[in-house]
Each structure stands twice: as structure tokens, then as C-alpha cells.
């Protein structure tokens, strides 16, 4: 590919662009990870994470990708031979299922069409039918990155309660944390899994478990072996701001800055911004005459939009042409939707002008690749953003 001028437009659904503030915060000399200075850093980020997860319970941080946090959730709570209930919402739900199976766990996998989130009614029905209470955990992906569908976690909690079932509730928020409203304590989630490279605006390399008292109790009696992932050792040493192994110090510097940025903007404002950008993107897709993969408007993701290609047109070819001509990276289709969809990320450090630039590249790419479409998607997105802005101004005026 020829050298291109200007900044690359990274609009995959993660890793998301890293803000300059976070990059500068990480540009620090390494320090002694057993020093008082490090303890202050450790306590700051461990406490700061609680606000993002909306929990008063412990949050542990691992130097790993989100896959490590998936494994940690499993090995600290379950035993070989246990049964768990999961929902097929897309590629990442399928991967989590595969990890569980490798530990000898039986997975009751509710089938899905990859066009919607987990069905609370289907989960409730399975739990009601489980008279022997064999199901030890319900495991759900909050925001399915491969499809752009967001599961209704609060409704799933109500479904578990309606069934009167004692199963643990585990939720993957790898692509939703700090971008979509999420409430670990209020929704009585037992283990929340997440990662650093999405809404937290960091490089890949940190993962997280938020842990309820119920999950911590389970970790004292379950039978799966663990060492690196052991919560007990982590929580004990975290109390003083330290870690049981060499931590990713410079990523923790970046995390401290990212948490400060989220606090300054305000989480509710962050969530509103993501909703606003997502609605504008969907308006563009509709104007192009294309179809959003997620069918249920109530479940369409604030983090990304997965766009279906017209029949006989290759999403991968389209993405390649768009990258070469306009220096923009779009997300590929994964698993069952490989080469059938492309994904537009609008998460993390993203604002209206950044999104409109990306949508301009998408629209020009459609023309360059010969993909059947109507023009005017960018104008539709602008109109959607202007309408939202007018509504916000009217609200401000009414308050004033």
C-alpha cells in the first residue's frame, strides 16, 4: 500500500484509538513495583475501576487480554463436570463456550441467529426446567463485538430471579465497559469480565474481573486448579496496592489517566455520546440502503455497527479497497458472518467529526468497490447528529 498522508482512521470495534493524554501518561520511566510510589498507583487504579464497574466489590486486574479474564472467571468459580448456561449471540460467546468446554464444563448453549442479544425468556425457561439445580452459572456476553448486538443484562437478572435459581451470573463486558451503561452491583452480577483496549481507551494488555461476595465464596470451594488467576492471592495483596507478580506498570499509568478522563466527562455523558454516534451511524446505513446486522432496535450496540453486504459482494474485498484508497480500517466479519459484514467502530475517544470522517470513507469506499448503495449516508448521519444536538440544546434551555 502506498504511503498515505494524515492520521490513519482506526474504526474497528477495538482496539480503539488511544487518546494522546493516555499515550503521554504511559511515557514514564519504570518504577519499583514494591515501592510506596507504586502502592499509591495501585490503590488509585484498583479503587477507580470500581466506579466504572459500578461496584463496591473487589476488582482485580491481570496483565492479559480479555481471554485471560474469561479463564479467570471460570477457574475461580467452577469445577470440571459442572453445567453452565450460555447464549449463542455471536463469535465471542462461542469462544467463551469453547474455553469452558476445555475445562471439562458442560455447556447448555441456547442457539441464536447472530442477529440479536441473549433472550431473557429463553434463559428463564431453561432455569425453570432445571429442577435439580444442575446449572451452576449463567454466562452472557453483554456487547457481542462480532454482531453489534447488546444483551439486556438487567432483564436477564430478573429472569434468573423469576426462576428462583441460585446460579452464578457472569457477564463479559470486554467491548461494553465504559461505553455502555453497566451496573455490576445493581444487576447482581457475580463476575464481570472486561479488557483494557475498548472503552477504557488503552492498548491491549490488561483484563479485569469484578467479583461479588457470592462468587468469592464459590472460589473457596470449587475444584479447578489455578495459580496465576487465583483471586484469593490477588485480593489479599491488592489490599496494599500491590500485585502477586510483576505488574504492567506503564499500562497502569495509562489506566489511571483513562479513569480520570472518564470521570471528567462523566459516565452518563460518555454513554449518551456513544448512543448519539451509534444512532448517526445507523442513519447512514439506512440511507445507503444497506442493512444493520442486529435486527432488534432495542439491542443495537452503542459501540459498533455491523453492516450486511449485498448478496454476492465480499465484505473483505470492500474493506481492502477502502483501506488502500482512504486509509481507514473497518472491522471484519467473524465466524458465521465472515466476509458477509463489515463493522464500524464508534467507541472510546470518538466524537462527531471523527465519526463523520469515518463515514465519509465508508461511503466513498462503497462507490470505489462497486457495492450497490444510495449516496447520502453522511448527510443522513449529519442530520441525525444535528437533531440530537437541537434536542440537547432545548433541554438545556428548559432547565435554564
CB 244, CB 60: distance < 8 Å: no
SS3 state of residue 308: strand
Residue 49 CB contacts under 8 Å (≥ 6 apart), including other chains: 59, 61, 208, 210, 255, 259
Distance (Å, whole) CA 225 – CA 128: 31
Q: Is the peptide bond before 43 cis (omega within 30 degrees of 0)?
A: no
List pLDDT tens digits, range 228-285.
999 999 999 999 999 999 999 999 999 999 999 999 999 999 999 999 999 999 999 9
Distance (Å, whole) CA 157 – CA 124: 9
CATH 3.40.640.10 fits 20-263, yes or no: yes
What residue spans of 289-345 are helical by DSSP H?
315-326
- Give domain limits for the chain: 9-16+266-391, 20-263
List pLDDT tens digits, range 185-233.
999 999 999 999 999 999 999 999 999 999 999 999 999 999 999 999 9
Closest CA to 285 of 368, 390, 371: 371
Residue 257 CB contacts under 8 Å (≥ 6 apart), including other chains: 21, 22, 24, 25, 26
Distance (Å, whole) CA 369 – CA 364: 9
Please report the pLDDT score of residue 4 as a whole number. 81
With cut-offs at 50, 70 and 90, classify the pLDDT of residue 399: very low
SS3 state of residue 172: strand
Q: β-strand 143-144 against 83-87: which pairing, if any?
A: unpaired
With cut-offs at 50, 70 and 90, classify the pLDDT of residue 391: low
Mean pLDDT of 14-32: 97
Mean pLDDT of 131-149: 98
Across the chain, mean pLDDT equals: 96
Domain 9-16+266-391 top-level CATH class: alpha beta
List pLDDT tens digits, range 307-328.
999 999 999 999 999 999 999 9
With cut-offs at 50, 70 and 90, classify the pLDDT of residue 5: confident
Query: What percentage of the chain exceeds 70 in pLDDT?
Result: 97
Quickly count helices (H) and strands (E) in the chain: 13, 14
Three cell numbers, residue 148? 453489534
Statement: residue 353 has pLDDT above 70:
yes
133 is in an annotated binding site: no
Closest CA to 305 of 351, 262, 362, 352: 362
List pLDDT tens digits, range 277-307.
999 999 999 999 999 999 999 999 999 999 9
Query: Which range has the worst mean pLDDT, 377-381, 382-386, 387-391?
Result: 387-391
Residue showing cell 477495538: 14
Residue 301 CB contacts under 8 Å (≥ 6 apart), including other chains: 143, 144, 148, 149, 150, 180, 278, 294
pTM of structure: 0.95
First CA to last CA distance, the chain: 53
Cβ burial 5-40 (10 Å sphere, 16+ → b, else e): eeeebbbbbbbbbbbeebeebbeeeeeebeeeebee
Statement: residue 397 has pLDDT above 90:
no
Distance (Å, whole) CA 341 – CA 146: 9
Mean pLDDT of 18-42: 98
Amino acid at each position: 500500500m502506498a504511503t498515505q498522508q494524515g492520521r490513519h482512521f482506526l474504526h474497528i470495534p477495538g482496539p480503539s484509538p488511544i487518546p494522546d493524554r493516555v499515550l503521554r501518561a504511559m511515557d514514564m520511566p519504570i518504577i519499583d513495583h514494591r515501592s510506596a510510589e507504586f502502592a499509591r498507583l495501585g490503590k488509585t487504579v484498583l479503587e477507580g475501576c470500581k466506579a466504572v464497574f459500578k461496584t463496591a466489590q473487589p476488582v482485580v486486574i491481570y496483565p492479559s487480554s480479555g481471554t485471560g479474564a474469561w479463564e479467570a472467571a471460570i477457574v475461580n468459580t467452577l469445577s470440571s463436570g459442572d453445567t453452565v448456561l450460555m447464549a449463542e449471540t455471536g463469535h465471542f460467546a462461542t469462544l467463551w463456550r469453547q474455553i469452558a468446554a476445555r475445562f471439562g464444563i458442560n455447556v447448555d448453549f441456547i442457539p441464536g441467529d447472530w442477529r440479536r442479544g441473549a433472550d431473557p425468556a429463553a434463559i428463564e425457561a431453561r432455569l425453570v426446567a432445571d429442577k435439580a439445580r444442575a446449572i451452576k452459572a449463567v454466562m452472557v456476553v453483554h456487547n457481542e463485538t462480532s454482531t453489534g448486538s447488546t444483551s439486556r443484562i438487567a432483564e436477564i437478572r430478573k429472569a434468573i430471579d423469576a426462576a428462583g435459581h441460585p446460579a452464578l451470573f457472569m457477564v463479559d463486558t470486554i467491548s461494553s465497559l465504559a461505553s455502555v451503561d453497566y451496573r455490576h452491583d445493581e444487576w447482581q452480577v457475580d463476575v464481570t469480565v472486561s479488557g483494557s483496549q475498548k472503552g477504557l481507551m488503552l492498548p491491549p494488555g490488561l483484563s479485569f474481573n469484578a467479583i461479588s461476595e457470592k462468587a468469592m465464596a464459590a472460589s473457596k470451594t470449587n475444584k479447578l486448579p489455578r495459580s496465576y488467576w487465583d483471586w484469593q492471592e490477588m485480593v489479599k495483596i491488592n489490599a496494599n496496592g500491590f500485585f502477586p507478580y510483576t505488574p504492567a506498570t506503564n499500562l497502569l499509568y495509562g489506566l489511571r489517566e483513562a479513569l480520570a478522563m472518564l470521570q471528567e466527562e462523566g459516565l452518563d455523558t460518555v454513554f449518551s455520546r456513544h448512543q448519539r454516534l451509534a444512532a448517526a451511524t445507523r442513519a447512514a446505513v439506512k440511507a445507503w440502503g444497506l442493512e444493520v446486522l442486529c435486527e432488534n432496535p432495542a439491542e443495537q450496540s452503542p459501540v459498533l455497527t455491523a453492516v450486511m453486504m449485498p448478496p454476492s459482494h465480499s465484505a473483505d474485498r470492500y474493506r481492502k479497497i477502502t483501506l488502500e484508497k482512504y486509509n481507514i480500517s473497518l472491522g471484519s466479519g467473524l465466524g458465521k458472518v465472515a466476509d458477509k459484514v463489515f463493522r464500524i467502530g464508534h467507541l472510546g475517544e470518538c466524537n462527531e467529526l471523527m465519526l463523520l470522517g469515518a463515514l465519509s470513507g465508508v461511503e466513498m469506499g462503497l462507490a470505489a468497490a462497486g457495492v450497490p448503495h444510495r449516496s447520502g449516508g453522511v448527510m443522513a448521519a449529519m442530520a441525525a447528529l444535528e437533531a440530537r444536538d437541537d434536542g440537547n440544546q432545548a433541554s438545556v434551555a428548559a432547565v435554564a
